[in-house]
């Protein structure tokens, strides 16, 4: 049995920070402006340039980004938003917080993303939007989804929480392809500021309203108030939120964005090593990267075949016993109490199967080749061990 020190555990994920992040954060702390300010503006500008968007609006998380987007849509009770169940629960929660109802659609078992055929079948007179999730960093089938949306005059929202750096036929996710794209900067994401998020859009009016709503719908920015040469008083003409990003977080994000090409290159290298190693196993299906799409490998999520020599849960436990941390595949939201309904079990078989049969393996920038080899060798040994 391949083992390592019992006190050593290979985590499933680890952010990568260096002295550059520390130095820029120190500058912000010494400046006295730690709330939303000039560093947030700088990050927004740089992020928009990176993805190719006209506007980028920084917020406190991807969940609050999606919440604001639902507000922009003006949902009312009974309004439906189509989305995958195979996603983090925030995807559905934001629809509910925005006053609508999530309508779950099954996914393609190969890409883990929305099945366009299932999307079209789910559209009703109550449908107000389609939310496409670029799951674990692989772009969804945007051309097909956008064509369906156009036929039904529906906006497409991209939950791009894990998708920074991913590309769809030569364009980076966030350009955006749909009306709006929302990103996450939490601790497990490739570009991390601890917490935080970003919204990108090409619509001037939407961008302006999002900037207001994230700051309690205040009529002017803090920067405008503080730089004014005469006394000014702000107004609040609608109900807003405090969904701001701090300059401390933005400082980390600015450096992380400059690191992104290096982070993506390393991640794709490690993912390719996993895929090559697993091709010969026969019971573990590597994730796919369809032609024209660039996967950022936010997570490396292979799937166990139904006739696998070991169950997914037993594999996870066996790896943990050997000092290797993993996670189950992406959750199926419809199995959680707030969203449980009998009809979803019938309509979402692929989502449920993926949740039960997939596993997220360690993948992060500082994962060494040696530690990755340790993970691979243990998976091989566990899968080939005789069963009692």
The span from the CA of 358 to the CA of 327, in Å, is 9
- Going 150 to 331 to 214 to 184, the CA torsion angle's sign is negative
Res. 1: pLDDT tops 70: no
pLDDT at 6: 46
306 is catalytic: no
Residue range(s) occupied by CATH 3.90.1150.10 in the chain: 261-384
pLDDT at 322: 96
Quickly count: other Cβ atoms within 10 Å of residue 38's Cβ. 13
Mean pLDDT of 228-250: 83
Q: Which of these, 202, 162, 161, lies nearest to 178 by C-alpha position?
A: 202
| DSSP per-residue string spanning 201-248 | ES-HHHHHHHHHHTBTTBSS-HHHHHH-SS-----B-S---B-PPPHH
Q: Which one of the listed residues 45, 54, 189, 306 is annotated catalytic?
A: 189
The span from the CA of 315 to the CA of 324, in Å, is 11
In this structure, of 2-6, 53-57, 221-225, 227-231, the range with the lowest mean pLDDT score is 2-6
pLDDT at 238: 85
pLDDT at 186: 96
pLDDT tens figures, 265-316: 999 999 999 999 999 898 999 999 999 999 999 999 999 999 999 999 999 9
pLDDT tens figures, 357-368: 999 999 999 999
pLDDT at 387: 62
Q: In what order do the strands lie in the sheet with 293-294?
A: 171-172, 167-168, 293-294
pLDDT at 5: 46
Antiparallel, parallel or unpaired: β 327-328 and 293-294? unpaired
In this structure, of 79-83, 84-88, 249-253, 306-310, the range with the lowest mean pLDDT score is 306-310
pLDDT tens figures, 133-164: 999 999 999 999 999 999 999 999 999 999 99
DSSP alpha helix (H) spans, the chain: 19-31, 38-51, 62-73, 90-97, 116-122, 142-151, 204-213, 222-227, 247-278, 312-321, 342-347, 349-357, 369-384
pLDDT at 332: 98
C-alpha 258: how far from chain center: 19
C-alpha 364: how far from chain center: 15
Residue range(s) occupied by CATH 3.40.640.10 in the chain: 19-257
Residue for token pair 């994401």: 189
CB within 8 A of 115, min separation 6: which ones? Answer: 105, 106, 107, 108, 350
pLDDT at 219: 67
Average pLDDT value for the chain: 94
Mean pLDDT of 364-385: 95
pLDDT tens figures, 188-237: 999 999 999 999 999 999 999 999 999 987 866 666 555 556 666 677 88
Question: In Å, what is the CA distance from 226 to each residue of 223, 233, 290?
Answer: 5, 11, 50
| pLDDT category of residue 101 using cuts at 50, 70 and 90 | very high
Res. 3: pLDDT tops 80: no
- Residue 134 tokens, joined: 């670029």
Q: Which residues pair with 157 in a beta bridge?
A: 131, 180
Q: What is the CATH number of domain 19-257?
A: 3.40.640.10
pTM: 0.93
Residue 254 phi/psi, 5-degree rounding, is -60, -45
The span from the CA of 267 to the CA of 101, in Å, is 36
Annotation: CATH topology of 261-384: 3.90.1150
> Which contacts (CB < 8 Å, 24+ apart) does range 10-13 have?
10/323, 10/324, 10/325, 10/362, 10/367, 10/371, 10/374, 10/375, 11/325, 11/362, 11/364, 12/325, 12/326, 12/327, 12/360, 12/361, 12/362, 12/363, 13/187, 13/188, 13/299, 13/362, 13/363, 13/364
Q: Are 341 and 98 contacting, i.e. CB atoms less than 8 angstroms apart?
A: no
Q: Which of these, 324, 320, 90, 327, lies nearest to 186 by C-alpha position?
A: 90
DSSP 3-state assignment of 166?
Answer: coil
């Amino acid at each position: 049995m391949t083992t390592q020190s019992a006190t050593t555990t290979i985590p499933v994920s680890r952010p990568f920070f260096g002295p550059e992040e520390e130095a820029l954060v120190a500058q912000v702390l010494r400046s006295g402006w730690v709330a939303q300010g000039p560093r947030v503006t700088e990050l927004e500008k740089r992020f928009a340039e990176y993805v190719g968007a006209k506007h980028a609006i920084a917020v406190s998380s991807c969940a609050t980004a999606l919440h604001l987007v639902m507000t922009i849509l003006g949902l009312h009770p009974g309004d439906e938003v189509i989305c995958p169940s195979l996603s983090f629960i925030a995807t559905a929660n934001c629809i509910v917080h925005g006053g609508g109802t999530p309508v779950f659609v099954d996914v393609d078992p190969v890409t883990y993303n929305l099945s366009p055929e299932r999307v079209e079948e789910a559209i009703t007179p109550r449908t107000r939007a389609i939310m496409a999730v670029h799951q674990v960093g692989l772009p969804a089938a945007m051309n097909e989804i956008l064509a369906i949306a156009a036929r039904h005059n529906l906006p497409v929202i991209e939950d791009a929480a894990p998708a920074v750096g991913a590309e769809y036929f030569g364009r980076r996710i966030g350009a955006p392809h749909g009306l709006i794209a929302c990103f996450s900067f939490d601790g497990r994401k490739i570009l991390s500021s601890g917490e935080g998020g970003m919204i990108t859009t090409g619509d001037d009016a939407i961008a302006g309203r999002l900037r207001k709503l994230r700051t309690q719908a205040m009529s002017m920015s803090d920067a405008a108030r503080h730089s004014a040469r005469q006394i000014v008083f702000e107004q609040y003409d609608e109900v807003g939120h405090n969904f701001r990003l701090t300059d401390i977080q933005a400082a980390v994000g600015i450096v992380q964005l400059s690191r992104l090409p290096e982070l993506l290159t390393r991640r794709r290298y490690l993912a390719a090593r996993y895929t090559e190693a697993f091709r010969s196993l026969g019971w573990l299906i590597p994730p796919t990267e369809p032609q024209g799409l660039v996967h950022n490998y936010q997570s490396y999520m292979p799937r166990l075949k139904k006739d696998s020599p070991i169950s997914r849960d037993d594999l996870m436990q066996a790896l943990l016993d050997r000092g290797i941390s993993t996670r189950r595949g992406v959750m199926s939201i419809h199995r959680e109490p707030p969203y449980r309904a009998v009809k979803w079990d019938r309509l979402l078989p692929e989502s449920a199967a993926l949740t039960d049969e997939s596993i997220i393996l360690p993948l992060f920038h500082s994962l060494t080749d040696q530690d990755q080899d340790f993970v691979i060798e243990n998976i091989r040994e566990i899968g080939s061990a005789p069963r009692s």
